[in-house]
Every structure is written in C-alpha cells, then in structure tokens.
C-alpha cells in the first residue's frame, strides 16, 4: 500500500533521462526536527477509510519516477504550480531504500483535519 502527501512539485530532468521530483509539502504534511525539514507521508486509506501508518522523508531528497507518463504529468504540474497529491512506495534496491512515485492526483483533495 502506498503513502501520500500534498504539495507542489519541482522536477529536475537529469542528463541520463532520469527524472527527479521534489515535493514542497503543504504545512499539514511537513515537520521540522533539529533544523531539518521532512515530508510526512501518510499511508493511503484502506477499505475502512483508515490510514494506519506514516513515514517521514527528507524534503530535500528526490523521489524516483519510473513512468514516462507520470513524468510528463509531474512536469505539467510543476509548470502550473498546482497542488498535487503524490502516492509513493518505498522500494529496496542494492544502493538502499528509494521512494518512487506511483500515482498523482491533480488537484489534491484537502486533508480532513
């Protein structure tokens, strides 16, 4: 099951063709600890409408994007500055754990506080 956060995105097209994405989370999805900022990634709602877990991820660390169509969508969102909901998954790779974007919701729906 994926994790979600809301905010605007920045996209960096790298020389090798890889796309790196940063999210600038809205305040409800941002925490600060010892001068370091993190995005709070909340587990996507299950069938009962409950999110049971959350994880944090450094604001300045990029997310991976494997899909060209998702990359194009994220580029358009970055150009427009619109708030999006990113759904990500944590994946294990030989070089360590990475976070990959698996879905984008545009515009983001407001979190219910």
Rounded CA-CA distance 68/45 in Å is: 26
Judge whether 47 lies within some domain.
Answer: yes
39 part of a folded domain: yes
Residue 110 domain-assigned (yes or no)? no
- Is residue 112 included in any domain, yes or no? no
pLDDT surpasses 90 at 14: no
Domains held by the chain: number? 1
In a domain, 54, yes or no: yes
Q: What is the pLDDT of residues 65-108, one digit of tens each?
A: 878 888 889 999 999 999 999 999 988 888 778 888 999 989 88
16, two tokens: 């090798």
pLDDT of residue 112: 57
Whether 20 maps to a domain, the answer reads: yes
8 bridge partner residues: 24
Flag whether 111 is in a domain. Answer: no
Q: Print the domain residue range for 7.
A: 3-105
Specify if 113 maps to a domain: no
> Which pLDDT score, from 0 to 100, does residue 15 have?
73
Question: Does the pLDDT of residue 33 top 90, yes or no?
Answer: yes
Q: Would you say the pTM of this structure is higher than 0.75?
A: yes
């Amino acid at each position: 099951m994926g994790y979600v956060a809301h905010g605007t995105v920045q996209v960096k097209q790298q020389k090798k063709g890889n796309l790196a994405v940063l999210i600038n989370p809205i305040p409800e999805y941002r925490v600060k600890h010892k001068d370091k900022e993190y995005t709070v990634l909340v587990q996507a709602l299950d069938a009962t409408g409950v999110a049971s877990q959350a994880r944090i991820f450094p604001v300045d660390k990029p997310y991976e994007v494997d899909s060209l169509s998702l990359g194009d969508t994220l580029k358009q969102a970055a150009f427009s500055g619109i708030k999006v909901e990113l759904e990500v998954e944590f994946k294990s790779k030989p070089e360590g754990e990475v976070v990959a974007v698996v879905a984008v919701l545009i515009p983001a729906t407001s979190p219910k506080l």
